Amino acid sequence: MVPSFLSLSFSSLGLWASGLILVLGFLKLIHLLLRRQTLAKAMDKFPGPPTHWLFGHALEIQETGSLDKVVSWAHQFPYAHPLWFGQFIGFLNIYEPDYAKAVYSRGGRGLLVLEGPKWLQHRKLLTPGFHYDVLKPYVAVFTESTRIMLDKWEEKAREGKSFDIFCDVGHMALNTLMKCTFGRGDTGLGHRDSSYYLAVSDLTLLMQQRLVSFQYHNDFIYWLTPHGRRFLRACQVAHDHTDQVIRERKAALQDEKVRKKIQNRRHLDFLDILLGARDEDDIKLSDADLRAEVDTFMFEGHDTTTSGISWFLYCMALYPEHQHRCREEVREILGDQDFFQWDDLGKMTYLTMCIKESFRLYPPVPQVYRQLSKPVTFVDGRSLPAGSLISMHIYALHRNSAVWPDPEVFDSLRFSTENASKRHPFAFMPFSAGPRNCIGQQFAMSEMKVVTAMCLLRFEFSLDPSRLPIKMPQLVLRSKNGFHLHLKPLGPGSGK
The string of DSSP letters for 51-88 reads -BTTTBTHHHHHSTTHHHHHHHHHHHSSSEEEEEETTT
Q: What is the pLDDT of residue 113?
A: 45
Q: What is the pLDDT of residue 342?
A: 94
Partners of 204 in the beta sheet? Answer: none
Report the mean per-residue pLDDT for the chain.
84
Q: What is the pLDDT of residue 451?
A: 98
Q: What is the pLDDT of residue 54?
A: 86
Q: What is the pLDDT of residue 435?
A: 44
Using 50, 70 and 90 to split pLDDT, how confident is the model at 312?
A: very high
Q: What is the pLDDT of residue 262?
A: 63
| Whether pLDDT at 345 is above 80 | yes
| Whether pLDDT at 334 is above 90 | yes
E strand intervals along 75-167:
80-85, 89-94, 109-110, 163-164
If you compute the radius of gyration of the chain from its CA atoms, what whole number of angstroms results?
A: 25
| Whether pLDDT at 268 is above 60 | yes
| Whether pLDDT at 123 is above 70 | no
Task: Name every residue whose Cβ is closer than 8 Å to that of residue 238 and which is 6 or more positions away in sequence.
Answer: 196, 199, 200, 203, 295, 298, 299
Using 50, 70 and 90 to split pLDDT, how confident is the model at 447?
A: very high
Which pLDDT tens digit goes with each residue over 4-60?
A: 544 556 667 777 778 888 887 778 778 767 777 877 788 889 999 999 888 889 888
Whole-number Å distance between alpha carbons of 91 and 388: 7
Task: Name every residue whose Cβ is closer than 8 Å to that of residue 362 and which is 6 or more positions away in sequence.
Answer: 307, 311, 314, 315, 471, 477
Which pLDDT tens digit goes with each residue over 374-394?
A: 999 999 999 999 889 999 999
| Whether pLDDT at 320 is above 70 | yes
| Whether pLDDT at 230 is above 60 | yes
Cβ atoms of 357 and 412 within 8 Å: the answer is yes
Question: What is the mean pLDDT of the segment spanning 418-439?
Answer: 79
| Whether pLDDT at 273 is above 60 | yes
| Whether pLDDT at 444 is above 60 | yes
Q: Which three-class secondary structure string do you get for 399-430?
A: CCCCCCCCCCCCCHHHHCHHHHHCCCCCCCCE
What global pTM score does this model have? 0.86
pLDDT over 90, % of the chain = 48
Q: What is the pLDDT of residue 318?
A: 98
| Whether pLDDT at 289 is above 70 | yes
Tell me 380's DSSP state.
T
Whole-number Å distance between alpha carbons of 420 and 456: 25
